[in-house]
Structure 1
Amino acid sequence: MTRIIQFAARFAVIGLAVAFAIVWFWPHLLPAWQQQTEPAPATYADAVNRTAPAVVSVYTRTLVTEPMSENITDPLFQALYRDRMVTRPRRGLGSGVIVSSDGLILTTRHVISEVDDILVALWDGRVAEASIVGSDPGTDLALLRVELNDLPVATLADDDDLRAGDVVLAIGNALGLSHTVTMGIVSATGRGHLSLTSYEDFIQTDAAINAGNSGGALINPDGEVVGINSASMGQETGAQGISFAIPASVVRRVSNQIIDYGQVTRAWAGMELSDVSLRLASENTFQPGARVSRIHRGSPAWDAGLEGGDVLISADGQPVSSARELMQQIANSAPGHEMELQVIRGNQLFTTSVHLVQQPPMQD
């Protein structure tokens, strides 16, 4: 019996010694010892080089007519020239992202809105005139075309799985300095209530986005475009490092519809909503919802019998978590869809259906 115990103990010691030697000389063979997170790269040059050739600088010119005396401070000359008008060019700049090799370029609508001429400067130094294919005031996106072929194309990220803290890089024509690259992190996703566009689902970042960056690319460390840079809060508001980009999922949906239909197909119910939280006495909890703040006369919501002050708590069987998300759900539905809404009016709970229609043309 003693020999058996000695024999087993000897093999146990040998086994421990072999295991220690393996771990010591080949630690990568032990999964538990492997680090679970990849170390931060020392450079993001590969990501920039992958996308920068597909980022363009956009230059615009608009002829404006204004009183000659507008910029004159001398009272005598103001009196002499007060009735005279002068036409001057007003120049603007922005950025764009090439999304097809045959010349389709994404940018923001406010960069090219109401301009007379658009020029696009490419990575390789070529300059070409651009025409507007279509635009969407609701998301501030626009699609341009240049008559060039075999252009480098940016890759749009497949999904919007960004998290606060992810590293992003902005590429654009900042202050006329083409292909300027700035780096930051994602500060938040799903930002709304900014009064920038009608349909807001912005990525917030602290990557510097200056004048001229609008329409440029916001990329991840793999060089994929996760957003189109749109706006930033200026220092005059006391803000620092607060910028916004339109997420890739919105960019893909809007650009595909402009290509296919020349406009964005977006459903409309004809009501304006605000966030509200209801206290449920039976469960002593709060339930989010969307309060109807305004109904457009003759709209689908009007025809469905909705009234100002109604609270919507579910749409097509899905709980309403916020007014912004319900507006997006409506907009992303197909015109003609019958949306079933669960409504609280006073102490009454009822269900109604809204026949969604194509959104009327939006005003600037």
Structure 2
Amino acid sequence: MMNRLWLLFCQAITILLAAWFVVTTLQPGWISSPQVNSLVGQVTLREAPESIIQNPGSLAEAAKVSSPAVVNIFTSKINKKKPSKKGAPHQNEPWFQFFFGDQAPSDEPSSSLGSGVIVSPQGIILTNHHVIEGADEIEVAFADGRKRNAKLIGSDPETDIAVLKIDETDLPSPITLGKMESVQVGDVVLAIGNPFGVGQTVTSGIVSALGRSQLGINTFENFIQTDAAINPGNSGGALVDTKGNLIGINTAIYSRSGGNMGIGFAIPINTAKLVMESILTNGSVTRGWIGVEPQNLSKELAESLNLPKDTAGVLISGVLEGGPADRAGMKPGDVLTQVNDQKVGDVVALLNRIAQTNPGDEAKVALLRKGKPMTLKVQVGKRPKSKTKN
């Protein structure tokens, strides 16, 4: 009797184990786990709130504030002759390229693309002179897709700044102008524009250097250098700080191939503002001029002229006959050291000192002639459009 009961018990256990194996294999969901279910009810997950909190180090707010004021500029013109190949760079020679597309060498209408920045509620737009140079029509496209025709108020080739105006009541908020006094090497900046025509793009980098000059890009140079990625189509676009304030107008890149190499140049906002105000007031920029051909004074050149050691100044290699400097008695070979008691260490400094003097005003010029100091008074003239003399 006991053996029979034991046999029945073993058979029952075997059947139950077989049934459990089949269920767990084919239908595991039929078997619930009270322990797991209770844990699910106890677990608390922390989720981000509906209002997005800016990530630490994010530049999203600066981009959000400034991007609506950056516009795309489309220009059209008739190309009447093929562009000259003079001055084309050697294959391995570094060169400067504007962030702007090449023109088609034909007599058919061509379209070009650049960028611009709305700086006032009255529809005033800052861009580069080379973006709109020779354009028959100028069209501005907002970030929201709207397009409007723009009118050229004036431009200044010597700083590569142009001022446009659009008649539109519903304008995006104009950008806020920054202060160059607060800009330092190492500051994080954003470049905003329309590279390659793909649409508005924001890139970031730092200010690599300030006061870059003698690059041969413009007559008057005082560039902000940045490594923010900027490419063709960014000409006239905005360089902004981490608060979204405009600190520069993107202008050119240093490149071997035409692409971005991490060295870009922007016109400082203080320069752009001065030029804009002059254009809005007078229709053009008026600068002082004395009619000389200046040359930087190298150490070797100073030694050949028997000048005192550590002499700082600019060699006058040519004087325009009948010009202001000629009438004042300046001669080729003179070394100009000061203008209105301010030292002049290079050609850029001389150009800026004279340009900032109003035409008709008298400038006191200190110079060395054959090693002997002397002073002349020059009645400053109006700088002509020609760039052959300074």
- Does 2:245 correspond to 1:212? no
1:235 is matched with 256
Which structure features the higher share of strand residues? 1
1:18-33 correspondence to structure 2 within 5 Å: none
Aligned residues: percent identity?
A: 42
Contact 1:184 1:208 survives alignment (8 Å): yes
SS of alignment partner, residue 333 of structure 1:
coil
2:310 is matched with 286
Residues 174-197 of structure 1: CA deviation (Å, up to 9, x unaligned):
111232111111111111111111
* C-alpha RMSD of the superposition: 2.4
Residues 55-94 of structure 1: CA deviation (Å, up to 9, x unaligned):
0000111123569xxxxxxxxxxxxxxxxx9742211100
Unaligned runs of 5+ in 2: 1-54, 83-104
Contact 1:266 1:335 survives alignment (8 Å): yes
Scaled by the length of structure 1, what TM-score is found? 0.79
1:61 is matched with 76
Q: What amino acid is the match of 1:296?
A: L
Contact 1:102 1:150 survives alignment (8 Å): no
- Does 2:183 correspond to 1:162? yes
Contact 2:180 2:268 survives alignment (8 Å): no
1:336 to 356, 360, 377: 360
Q: Name which of structure 1's ranges 309-318 and 132-141 shifts more when overlaid on structure 2.
A: 309-318
1:179-258 correspondence to structure 2 within 5 Å: 179-236=200-257, 240-258=261-279
Contact 1:174 1:211 survives alignment (8 Å): yes
Offset of residue 239 of structure 1: 7.8
Q: Name which of structure 1's ranges 89-98 and 56-65 shifts more when overlaid on structure 2.
A: 56-65
Q: What amino acid is the match of 1:249?
A: N
Alpha-carbon spacing, 1:100–1:357, altered in 2? closer, same or farther (3 Å):
same
Distance in 2, Cα, partners of 1:222 & 1:200: 26
Distance in 2, Cα, partners of 1:327 & 1:86: 38
Offset of residue 242 of structure 1: 1.2
1:102 to 105, 122, 142: 122
Distance in 2, Cα, partners of 1:218 & 1:93: 18
- Does 2:71 correspond to 1:51? no
Offset of residue 238 of structure 1: 9.7
Distance in 2, Cα, partners of 1:183 & 1:159: 18
The structure that has the greater radius of gyration is: 2
Contact 1:341 1:352 survives alignment (8 Å): yes
Q: Name which of structure 1's ranges 218-227 and 296-305 shifts more when overlaid on structure 2.
A: 296-305
Residues 233-274 of structure 1: CA deviation (Å, up to 9, x unaligned):
223289821111000110010000000000012111111322
1:245-324 correspondence to structure 2 within 5 Å: 245-276=266-297, 286-324=310-348
Contact 1:160 1:226 survives alignment (8 Å): no
Distance in 2, Cα, partners of 1:233 & 1:245: 12
1:75-86 correspondence to structure 2 within 5 Å: none
Aligned pairs, number = 306
Q: What amino acid is the match of 1:197?
A: N
Offset of residue 149 of structure 1: 2.5
1:172 is matched with 193
